[in-house]
Amino acid sequence: MSDHSVLPSEAALKIRAIQSLLSEKGFLSQDVTDTIVDYFETKVGPRNGAQVVAKAWRDADFKARLLENGREAVNELGFSGFEGATLHVLENTDEVHNVVVCTLCSCYPWPVLGLPPIWFKSPPYRSRVVIDPRGVLAEFGTEIPASKEIRVWDSNAEIRYFVLPQPPANSETLNEVELAALVTRDSMIGTRLL
């Protein structure tokens, strides 16, 4: 039973109002809305990327294929839709930490990360992460040791980047489902560790 005394957020109310208006005008049916919502909740999104990462942590052959050709490897798991773009997977190591940006717009690997976060599209992030990546990462709460190189990768219409984070310490006994639960969208962009 839902609590009707709790009001939805302002954003939720705006979404409902827009949906109602579009439906009332005949531009959008409930079936179409349900299909779109289902697509973004179950077919694309960070859960997909987390599955890719967990499989790479447990399957060395898959990881090699992923690093060689990210698009083909994620297609093996049923995640497609890059529309001509190459998916380049960047592995974080003890020596290198990778972070992704799109300085010109917001090119982003939707099939494995879902919708881009607002900050990914913001001009301050897009310009500052290139100039001061260590400082920007610190603002996310991600402290990278001075001894570790930070590489910033600029996505575009032809090449999308996806970060393969380092597996957590003492995770050898975890299965892929348990590992996937540890992976965050931000860790696959590179702004956070796990």
C-beta of residue 113 within 8 angstroms of C-beta of residue 189: yes
Percent of the chain with pLDDT over 90: 66
Q: Classify residue 160 by its DSSP letter.
A: E
Is the backbone of residue 190 left (phi > 0), alpha (psi -120 to 50) or beta?
left
Is the pLDDT at 40 greater than 60, yes or no? yes
151, HSE (Cβ side, Cα atoms, 13 Å):
15
φ, ψ (nearest 5 deg) of residue 151:
-110, 130
Q: Domain residues of the chain, as ranges?
A: 10-42, 47-189
**Amino acid in position 59:** D
Domain at 47-189: CATH code: 3.90.330.10
Residues forming a β-bridge with 149: 96
- Residue in this structure with the two tokens 């991600």, named with its chain if needed: 142
Confidence of residue 2 (pLDDT cuts 50, 70, 90): very low
User: Whole-angstrom Cα distance, residue 84 to residue 13?
Assistant: 36
Tell whether the model's pLDDT for residue 95 goes beyond 50: yes
The model's pTM? 0.81
Q: What are phi and psi of 28, to 5 degrees?
A: -150, 125
Euclidean distance between CA atoms 79 and 43, whole angstroms: 8
**What DSSP designation does 184 have?**
-
At 128-160, the pLDDT tens digits run 999 999 999 999 999 999 999 999 999 998 999
Give the residue numbers marked as catalytic.
102, 105-107
Cite the beta strand spans of the chain per DSSP E. Answer: 86-91, 96-101, 149-154, 159-164
Residue 8 reports pLDDT greater than 80: no
Residue 127 has pLDDT above 60, yes or no: yes
For residue 142, the tally of other CB atoms under 10 A from its CB is 18
